Amino acid sequence: MNAPLRIGIIGGAGWLGGAIAAALLDAAIVRPQDLSLSFRNKQPDRFPASFWTSDNQALADRSDVIVLSVRPADWPGLKVDARGKLVVSVMAGIRLDALCTQHGTTRVVRTLPNAAAEVRKSYTPWIATGAVGKQDRALIRTIFDTCGFQDEVRTEAEIDYLTGLTGSGPAFPALLAEAMMADAMTHGLDPDTARRAVNALIVGAGRLLEKRDDCPAETVRTFLDYQGTTAAALTEMKAAGFEAAVSRGLAMAFRKSVRMGGDS
């Protein structure tokens, strides 16, 4: 009989680390007593049946799989020996070779989930070193399928690009919602009504895209062809440089990801 899987999340007190932990427990991928989480300042009240520690090496020593969920800027100071273990990074910008060198293992996976893991709707691209075998890869798919959706990509450059595109999670739709809400209030709507209207719009759009699984361009074309008020708004937004602004933002995120990796 196989031994129970032991997973440790360094940074388990954080938003993303906690979301991954909750997904693992809800899906029964790991037993509560076999899940270890580390915190930096104060132990959270959640996951009381799991092992909490402020000693990251102690966490690593009692884990088969170690998830690194810390700020990339804090990672250089994370001196954890993970020899013989599977290390899974959810940090932006940190390269596979740097992770192998610092943690003393060749079994390393670089992933980029986002904050939507909290509601099991994260998109997670990932790439693994050659030393990561079929069983480990199957485990990675299982872990991140519980958080939403996952894809193994071909190169680290693709991970760097997706850091901006999908790693930003709800930030981009939230920016659109913020602008729409502000415009609604300038037209006299009270803040609560504006917030409910815009949030319902964003949530409804996401669920419709998920259900239909169409290319977004098809949805846009449908509204443009109808030539109503939505088409008028879309045409004006395009003319004002909406697509160029999005492209510039994603390009900046890509460059930032590459720079972060170079600092590692």
CATH of the domain at 242: 1.10.3730.10
pLDDT at 136: 98
DSSP-derived pairing of the beta strands 148-152 and 86-89: unpaired
Encoded tokens for 231:
């088409």
DSSP-derived pairing of the beta strands 35-38 and 51-53: parallel
Average pLDDT over residues 257-261: 85
Q: How many residues does the chain have?
A: 264
Average pLDDT over residues 238-246: 96
Residue 2: pLDDT band with limits 50, 70, 90: confident
Decide if pLDDT at 3 tops 70.
yes
Encoded tokens for 191:
């803040």
Claim to verify: residue 45 and residue 126 sit in the same structural domain: yes
Q: What is the DSSP letter of 185?
A: H
Encoded tokens for 176:
């659109």
Average pLDDT over residues 140-166: 96
Average pLDDT over residues 138-162: 97
Claim to verify: residue 146 and residue 51 sit in the same structural domain: yes
Average pLDDT over residues 68-92: 97
Whether 227 and 142 have beta carbons less than 8 Å apart is answered as no
pLDDT at 19: 97
Decide if pLDDT at 5 tops 60.
yes
Which residue(s) pair with 65 in the sheet?
A: 7, 86
Encoded tokens for 21:
């932990």
Encoded tokens for 126:
């990932």
Residue 1: pLDDT band with limits 50, 70, 90: low
Average pLDDT over residues 108-122: 96
Specify burial of residue 198 (Cβ count, 10 A radius: 0-12, 13-18, 19+). buried
Report pTM: 0.89
Q: Is 148 helix (H, G, I), strand (E, B) or coil?
A: strand
Decide if pLDDT at 189 tops 70.
yes
Of 128, 146, 167, the one marking the end of a domain is 167
Whether 127 and 153 have beta carbons less than 8 Å apart is answered as yes
Decide if pLDDT at 155 tops 90.
yes
Claim to verify: residue 158 and residue 202 sit in the same structural domain: no
Alpha carbons 92 and 122: distance in angstroms, whole number: 15
Residue 261: pLDDT band with limits 50, 70, 90: confident
**Overall domain count for the chain:** 2
Residue 263: pLDDT band with limits 50, 70, 90: low
Which pLDDT tens digit goes with each residue over 21-63? 999 999 999 999 999 999 999 999 999 999 999 999 999 999 9
How far, in Å, are 220, 225, 231, 242 from residue 228 at the CA level? 12, 8, 5, 19
Residue 243 placed within a domain: yes
Position 24, amino acid: L
Between 13 and 213, the higher pLDDT residue: 13
Claim to verify: residue 84 and residue 109 sit in the same structural domain: yes
pLDDT at 214: 83
Crossing angle for the helix pair 242-263 and 229-239, nearest 10 degrees? 50
Query: At which residue do the structure tokens 């920016």 appear?
Result: 175
Claim to verify: residue 96 and residue 49 sit in the same structural domain: yes
Claim to verify: residue 81 and residue 107 sit in the same structural domain: yes
Give the residue numbers spanning the domain of 248: 171-262
